[in-house]
Amino acid sequence: MEVLKTDCALCVNCCGVNAYVDDGVLVKVEGEEEHFLNKGKLCPKGEHLTDWVYAPDRVKYPMKRVGKTLKRISWDQALDEIGSKLQALKKQHGAHTMAIYTGSVGVENIELAAFMQRFRGAYGSPNFLCVESICYRVRILARQITFGRYPVEEPEKARCIILWGANPDASLWMTGVHIRNEVKKGLKLITIDPRRIPLAKFGIHIQPRPGTDCAIALAMMNVIIEEDLWDKEFVDKWTVGFDRLVEHVKEYTPEKAEEISGVPAIEIRKIARIFATTKGACILQGVCSMDQQINSLQNSRAFAILQTITGNIDVPGGWATTPLLPLTDLRLPLDEKPIGADEYPVFYKFGKRPAPYGQAMLLTETILSEKPYPIKALLVGGGNPALDFPDTKKFLEAAKKLELLVVIDPFMSETADLADYVLPACTFLEKDGVGGYPYGLMHGTSYIMLRKKVIDPLWESKADWWVWSELGHKMGYGEYFPWKTDEEVVEHLFSKSVITTKQLKANPGGAYFGEKVYKVYEQTGFGTESGKIEIFSAGLERFGFPGLPTHIEPSQSAVANPELTKKYPEILLTGARQIEYIHTQGHNLPALRAIRQEPEVEVHPATAHKYDIVNGEMCGIETPRGMIKMRALVTQDILEGVVSIPHGWAVANANILTDIKMKDAIVGYPETKAIACRLVKL
Ligand SMILES: Nc1nc2c(c(=O)[nH]1)N[C@H]1C(S)=C(S)[C@@H](COP(=O)(O)OP(=O)(O)OC[C@H]3O[C@@H](n4cnc5c(=O)[nH]c(N)nc54)[C@H](O)[C@@H]3O)O[C@H]1N2
Ligand SMILES: Nc1nc2c(c(=O)[nH]1)N[C@H]1C(S)=C(S)[C@@H](COP(=O)(O)OP(=O)(O)OC[C@H]3O[C@@H](n4cnc5c(=O)[nH]c(N)nc54)[C@H](O)[C@@H]3O)O[C@H]1N2
Ligand code: SF4
Ligand SMILES: [Mo]
């Protein structure tokens, strides 16, 4: 039996995997012992990789919609027809009529995103859109605005961690393992979450009203400044705008933050003191929880400022700058700007370089309104917007207006169910690729490795890069797609990297880590306009937004919209992660369903009592956009009046409840947390 060392690309963690292959068949996977991150373990999704790859409901061959059903066709026919349709649409509406969308898979599958961008460049459409309009990019942007680069959380070396709207047991399990080990050795843990997550019992837990985190962060700054706990040497030498911050946070006393958030002022004082007096203090900010809020950019800015004034930047266990491990850029030059560039200029272009994508949260409205122009073709690979985009009803309306919807996916999805063509992608186990995360993630490092082909592509499935390349050839763009094999693609992507594929192959695990330098600013300063950390951002002010973070009420809170909350008095959080699933993926696997059969709505006993709902009973969750049904999990582990549901379940789609019009005004991120709702006794 052959054992191949590769990584798991089911989620962004890219854990190390030993894949056991017998006569071309993947028979078993286990976690790679020597891997820095997962140290021999895998999560339930990773443990069931064999079930996933061999699932009987894989998309096996290209299909075309004929009436209500999808009929098998050849690759040639599919790509010929899609190519002709795209050419015709381009003639009629201009190249911008085609949008390409990738979901979270585009982050893990680097070839996929690279070839999508190359294809849209060859075709001439600016409209490459991706999940970073809803997830993660906002924190990178906030850190770039503040530091001129992207320092990353380094929980592995921290002595104090704030889990700020983050539940590692569900979304980042290895950090949960780490925290449990370290609290025994004195790690100070603070959890800020309306839910009492399992890790909350290992330290201090505060339960804010959802969407009020920025007010708490500002009050912590107030305490840190009032009590002289800030790092004077660092702040004086390396920052601008501290004096303005001092004035700004005077009004954000812990008492005021208590009024806003419901968290006792005494608790805010306590956590501010602990955070400011422990070197190696790290805010581990949740991703969707902090990003998908009306105040998403300013939440991230507030965390960046807290790290700064306590001197926890570029020190071990704070936020540290990891080197990027750049790969060859496959983009082709384009002049036209994508959708969202004018509406959200900070999102599109804050510094010198524009974002490679538009604001995907405008896609639905653009298709529906045909303004500024009609988008008639949507090509989706590695995402399931019909279930994952806010406001499913609106997305379905928009999908109907498309003249061409193509989905490239190893599995049928809710988006594939709407498509004119469904093309079978092979999974990451069936091709060579680029593994790891070259751009740095929450584990305080960046790393790359060879993602090895473990088995041959099943049925008629093909690598994503091949699909875009072959479509390009059919449409006359062959000159842009000279690569013939996975190996050539990977070789090309690594050709300008700090490490070659040859060097990677010589290393048994095949992984390369970016060498981290602490206090890198002593050599390079900061890449901001001022060359220093911008506590106050003159750049943001020039765009017409506050240069310092402020509290903004969620658009459907009782304060912002008291009329609405008379009818919908509870606060809904959508999208809590579950370790068994990744978004809409995995629910088809019996082994995972055996662990978690169905979605549940978490409700406090007092809230449940109000609606006469008992534990285990099916109930309705209703917002102004619609209603879904889930079984009630009545628990003390959630704040009274807060209701939490997972997303990604087709049987109870959370995005029936969300509203595409509710957004952060600076970056266009949607509000999928802190939504007004009520429960319904069925
Ligand atoms: N209400 C609400 N909505 C949310 C969120 C929330 O918290 N609340 N969270 C948001 C966030 S943060 C995110 S990241 C998004 C995630 O949303 P998506 O990015 O849409 O995530 P998935 O549902 O995992 O869809 C990925 C699709 O890619 C397919 N796939 C897997 N591997 C490959 C491959 O190698 N090639 C191709 N072509 N396809 C592949 C899978 O089968 C699946 O259909 O959801 C967002 N939506
Ligand atoms: N197993 C698994 N892992 C995943 C994913 C997955 O689908 N499955 N998705 C991946 C992706 S793309 C993403 S974006 C991340 C998401 O990762 P995170 O955003 O960290 O999501 P969770 O781990 O569910 O933790 C979010 C916590 O924030 C809390 N919360 C919600 N609203 C608020 C609020 O207003 N204030 C505060 N203080 N807390 C709040 C919730 O109660 C919840 O406990 O997970 C990644 N990892
Ligand atoms: S799905 Fe699980 S095993 Fe795979 S990378 Fe993510 S956390 Fe690791
Ligand atoms: Mo995400």
DSSP 301-349: HHHHHHHHHTT-BSSTTSEEEPPP-----------SPPTTTTT-HHHH-
Interval between CA 574 and ligand 1 midpoint (Å)? 15
User: How far, in Å, are 379, 543, 668 from residue 660 at the CA level?
Assistant: 21, 23, 10
Instruction: Tell whether the model's pLDDT for residue 449 goes beyond 90.
Output: no
DSSP structural state of residue 532: S
Same domain for 264 and 379, yes or no, is: no
Identify the domain boundary among 319, 353, 374.
319
pLDDT digits (tens, 9 = 90+) for 602-646: 999 999 999 999 999 999 999 999 999 999 999 999 999 999 999
Q: What is the mean pLDDT of residues 470-484?
A: 98
Alpha carbon distances (Å) from 512 to 3, 125, 502, 565? 20, 35, 12, 52
Q: Does residue 522 lie within any of the structural domains? A: no
Tell whether 324 is covered by a domain: no
> Model's pTM, two decimal places?
0.98
Q: Which residues hold their Cβ within 5 A of ligand 4, which is an ion?
A: 135
CATH number reported for the structural domain that contains residue 607 in this entry = 2.40.40.20
pLDDT > 90? residue 458: yes
- What number is the average pLDDT over the span 574-602? 97
135 lines ligand 1 (CB under 6 A): yes
The verdict on residue 548 lying in a domain is no
* Average pLDDT of the segment spanning 400-424: 98
Per-residue pLDDT tens over the stretch 293-303: 999 999 999 99
More confident residue, 220 or 444: 220
- Mean pLDDT, residues 339-350: 97
Give the model's pLDDT for residue 292.
98
Residue 275 has pLDDT above 90, yes or no: yes
* 86 C-alpha to ligand 4 centroid (Å): 30
- If we measure between CA atoms, which residue out of 434, 334, 337 comes closest to residue 111? 434
Instruction: Tell me, yes or no, whether 36 and 83 share the same domain.
Output: no
Token digits for 29? 């996977």
Does residue 524 form part of some domain? no
Cβ pair 153, 322 in contact under 8 A: no
Nearest one of 148, 135, 529, 181 to 313, comparing CA atoms: 148
At residue 155, does pLDDT exceed 90? yes
407 in Cβ contact with 415 (< 8 Å): yes
pLDDT score, position 174:
95
Average pLDDT along the chain = 96
pLDDT, mean of residues 206-214: 98
pLDDT at position 508? 64
3-state SS, 417-443, equals: HHCCEEEEECCHHHCCEEEEECCCCCC
- Residue 177: the pLDDT is 96
Q: Which residue among 167, 196, 300, 635 has the greatest number of ligand 2 atoms within 8 angstroms of its CB, and so is best to mutate?
A: 167
Task: Please report, rounded to a whole number, the percentage of residues in the chain having pLDDT higher than 90.
Answer: 91
Residues 210 and 288 in one domain: yes
Q: How high is the pLDDT of residue 165?
A: 98
CA of 299 to the centre of ligand 4 (A): 16
Confirm if 36 and 465 have CB atoms less than 8 A apart.
no
Separation between Cα atoms, residue 635 and residue 626, nearest integer Å: 25
Q: Whose CA is nearest to atom 42 of ligand 2?
A: 195
**Across the strands, what pairs with 476?**
none
Atom 2, ligand 1: residue with shortest CA distance = 575
- If one counts every other C-beta atom within 10 angstroms of the C-beta of residue 616, the result is 10
Structural domain contains residue 530:
no
Q: Which CATH number does the domain housing residue 8 bear?
A: 3.30.200.210
Query: Measuring CA to CA, which residue among 355, 349, 214 is closest to residue 293?
Result: 214
Residue 542 in domain: no
**In the prediction, which pLDDT does 513 show?**
78
Query: Which residue CA neighbors atom 11 of ligand 1 most closely?
Result: 135
- The one-letter code for the residue type at 275 is F
Contacts of 226 (CB under 8 A, 6+ apart): none
| SS3 call for 158 | coil
pLDDT of residue 499: 83
Question: Considering the domain boundaries, does residue 535 fall inside one?
Answer: no
Ligand nearest to the CA of 648: 1
Let me know whether 273 and 422 are in one domain.
Answer: no
396 is a domain residue: yes
Instruction: Answer with the one of 512, 537, 572 that is the final residue of a domain.
Output: 512
- The three-class DSSP label of residue 30 is strand
pLDDT at 323: 82
How far, in Å, CA of 399 to CA of 375, rounded?
10
Is 394 in the same domain as 450?
yes
Asked whether residue 305 falls in the same domain as residue 354, the answer is no
* Whether the Cβ atoms of residue 613 and residue 648 lie closer than 8 Å to each other: no
pLDDT at 509: 67
Has residue 336 got a pLDDT over 80?
A: yes
Nearest to 673 by CA among 507, 533, 555: 555
Sign of CA dihedral 676, 104, 195, 619: positive
Nearest-atom number in ligand 1 for the CA of 381 is 38
Q: Is 30's pLDDT higher than 70?
A: yes
Task: Note the ligand closest to the C-alpha atom of 441.
Answer: 2
Question: pLDDT for 316-331, tens place per residue?
Answer: 999 998 888 889 999 9
One domain for residues 246 and 350? no
Same domain, 275 and 204: yes
* CA 323 to centroid of ligand 1, rounded, Å: 27
Q: What is the DSSP string of 504-524?
A: HHHSTT-EEEPPP-TTTHHHH
What pLDDT sits at residue 171?
A: 95
Neighbour order of strands in the sheet with 188-192: 204-206, 188-192, 160-164, 281-285
Note whether 402 and 506 are same-domain residues: yes
Q: Kindly tell me if the per-residue pLDDT of 671 is higher than 80.
A: yes
Poorest-confidence range of 236-240, 444-448, 487-491? 444-448
- How far apart CA 154 and CA 181 sit, in angstroms, is 16
CATH code, domain with 281: 3.40.228.10
- pLDDT recorded at residue 441: 74
Is the pLDDT score of 407 beyond 90? yes
Same domain, 282 and 175: yes
Q: Give yes or no: residues 45 and 71 share one domain.
A: no
List, as one string, the DSSP characters of 630-651.
EEEEE-SSB-TTEEEE-S--GG
The reply to whether omega before 508 is within 30° of 0 (cis) is no
Task: Find the ligand nearest to 7 CA.
Answer: 3
CATH number for the domain that contains residue 368? 3.40.50.740
Give the full edge-to-edge strand order of the sheet including 128-130. 69-72, 63-66, 421-424, 404-409, 377-381, 98-102, 128-130
pLDDT of residue 240: 98
Burial 601-614 (b: 16+ CB within 10 A, else e): bbbbeebbebbebe
Model pLDDT, residue 506:
81
Q: Ligand 3: which residues within 6 Å by Cβ?
A: 8, 10-11, 13-15, 38, 42-43, 45-46
**Which of 288, 319, 350 is where one domain is finished?**
319
User: What's the domain range around 425?
Assistant: 63-136+340-512
Over range 550-556, report the average pLDDT: 98
User: Within this chain, do residues 501 and 585 fall inside the same structural domain, yes or no?
Assistant: no
Residue with tokens 């983009």: 331
Domain count, the chain: 4
Residue type, 407: V
Tell me 456's DSSP state. Answer: P
**Percent of all residues in the chain with a pLDDT value above 70, rounded to a whole number:** 100
Question: Is the CB of residue 630 less than 8 Å from the CB of residue 640?
Answer: no
Kindly identify the ligand whose nearest atom is closest to the C-alpha of 106: 1
